[in-house]
Structure 1
Amino acid sequence: MKKTILIIDDSEPIRFLLETFLSRKYKVVSATDGYSAMLWLAKGNKPDMIVTDIQMPNIDGWELIDHLNSNELYNDVPVIVLSGVEAPRESAAYKIVDFIRKPFDPVNLMSTIDKNMQLSARVLTA
């Protein structure tokens, strides 16, 4: 069974690229902003990983990550930030596993996702 990645980005071309590229290996669900992602999560869905942008309408990436970190159901889900903004100095407080700047190399992103999926699988089975 394929692991699930939740992609959150308000850019349709970025979502399309990520869905197309990542769906070769993973089940991909996408949302246009943090609010839509939280609605999907509220239905009882739990992804194996989240890749999110920061600058989005309604609920931005930092607010979403705060919500995930404060919720016992989701605080163990690895989060990769994929954004055009610089990583703030306090980003470590948000419990993200990686911060990748746009424009990004899809091969590098896939490698980062694969590595973190393996790490999270080891932690869950330990």
Structure 2
Amino acid sequence: MKKKILLVEDEPTIHRLLHFILSKEFDVRSAANGFEAFVWMERQDIPDLIIMDWMMPQMDGGTFLKLLKVSGLYSEIPVIVLSASESIRQELDNLPYPISHCLHKPFDPRTLKTAIGNIFNASTYGFIN
């Protein structure tokens, strides 16, 4: 059975690229923002990994991540953050909860696949702050 990845990305071009890259190996589900992602997960469809954009409409990455990590149901889901923000590292360093990996846009798809492989192959999820 394929691992389930929830892709939370509002940019259609990046979304299509990521879906194309990942859908051969993983069961990829999609949401355009954090609000849609929570609605999807509340239907008891919990992913094995979330790949999320940091800057999104309706519910940005910071708000989504905070709600995800303080929840009892979703707090253990590993998260990979994608961002074009130059200050993303500083923002993530100031978070009180962990993420699994951060990639700056534009990113090499091989780097993303390596990060995903490391998360899924680890016996316990390795987090960074």
- Taking structure 2 as the reference length, the TM-score comes to 0.89
Identity of aligned residues (%): 36
Q: How does 1:1-126 map to 2 (within 5 A)?
A: 1-85=1-85, 86-87=88-89, 88=91, 89-91=93-95, 93-119=96-122, 122-123=123-124
| Aligned-CA RMSD value | 1.2
For 1:25 and 1:40, locate their aligned partners in 2 and report how far apart those are by CA, in whole Å: 21
Q: Secondary structure at the match of 1:99?
A: strand
For 1:6 and 1:94, locate their aligned partners in 2 and report how far apart those are by CA, in whole Å: 19
In the TM superposition, what is the alpha-carbon distance from 1:94 to its structure 2 partner?
3.0
Provide, for residues 37-94 of structure 1, a one-character-per-residue CA deviation record: whole Å limited to 9, x for no partner. 0110111110000000111100011111111111111111000101111222314x23
For 1:101 and 1:123, locate their aligned partners in 2 and report how far apart those are by CA, in whole Å: 24
In the TM superposition, what is the alpha-carbon distance from 1:118 to its structure 2 partner?
1.4
For 1:29 and 1:109, locate their aligned partners in 2 and report how far apart those are by CA, in whole Å: 17
Question: Partner letter of residue 65 of structure 2?
Answer: I
Q: Secondary structure at the match of 1:41?
A: helix
Q: Secondary structure at the match of 1:95?
A: coil
> Structure 1: where are the runs of 5+ without partners?
none
Runs of 4+ residues deviating >3 angstroms: none
In the TM superposition, what is the alpha-carbon distance from 1:24 to its structure 2 partner?
1.2
Q: Secondary structure at the match of 2:124?
A: helix
For 2:35 and 2:4, locate their aligned partners in 1 and report how far apart those are by CA, in whole Å: 19
> Structure 2: where are the runs of 5+ without partners?
none
Question: Partner letter of residue 52 of structure 2?
Answer: T
- Taking structure 1 as the reference length, the TM-score comes to 0.91
Aligned length in residues? 121
Q: Secondary structure at the match of 2:57?
A: coil
